[in-house]
Structure 1
Amino acid sequence: MANHKSAEKRNRQSQIRRLRNRINKTKMKNAIRKVNEAVEAGSAEEAKVALQAAIPVIAKTASKGTIHRRNGSRKISRLSKRVNKLEATA
């Protein structure tokens, strides 16, 4: 439990940031899941549309500091690679 006024404020700020980070991370995971489901279903067009929607969500999550920027780049790269591979085979 916080004893000082500044520690109480820090606790409030941390809780708000935690909730914001959790919301952003959940949005990102849902966007990634949609791409993966489309790839597993074998639908190249749906996967491409889902990827175009997922890239800005992942980039925003990384730019806000919820995930590391290299982690965001890696996720985008791997998803793009999967979608491109699916398009090549289709």
Structure 2
Amino acid sequence: MANTPQSKKRARQTERRTEVNKARRSRIRTFLRKVEEAIAGGDAAVAAEALRVAQPELMRGVTKGVVHKNTASRKMSRLASRVKALSAS
């Protein structure tokens, strides 16, 4: 348990940041799930639009430190290739 005033303050700050980061991570997952559902639905136009909306949200997670840069890039790349394959067929 935190003993010094500074460590007590850091514990309070960590709790607040954890809540913010959880919300941010949840929001990112929601946008990614919408892309996945659009791909599963088979509608290329809807999937492309969902991907276009999800991309800045995912990259915002990178700048906020919630998601690693390479992880976000990998997710975007894989989703983009699946959307492209959907529109090609």
The TM-score bracket by the shorter chain reads: over 0.9
**Consecutive aligned runs of 4 or more in structure 1 exceeding 2 Å deviation:** none
TM-score normalised by length of structure 1:
0.95
CA distance in 1, matches of 2:72, 2:13: 25
Residue 19 (structure 2) aligns with: 19
Unpaired runs of 5+ residues, structure 1, are none
Residue 75 (structure 2) aligns with: 75
Q: Deviations over 1:39-73 (max 9, x none)?
A: 00101011011001100000000111111111111
Residue 40 (structure 2) aligns with: 40
CA distance in 2, matches of 1:72, 1:46: 21
Unpaired runs of 5+ residues, structure 2, are none
Which amino acid in 2 is paired with 1:22?
Answer: K
Residue 49 (structure 1) aligns with: 49
Q: Between Structure 1 and Structure 2, how many residues are aligned? A: 89
Using the aligned pairs only, state the percent identity: 38
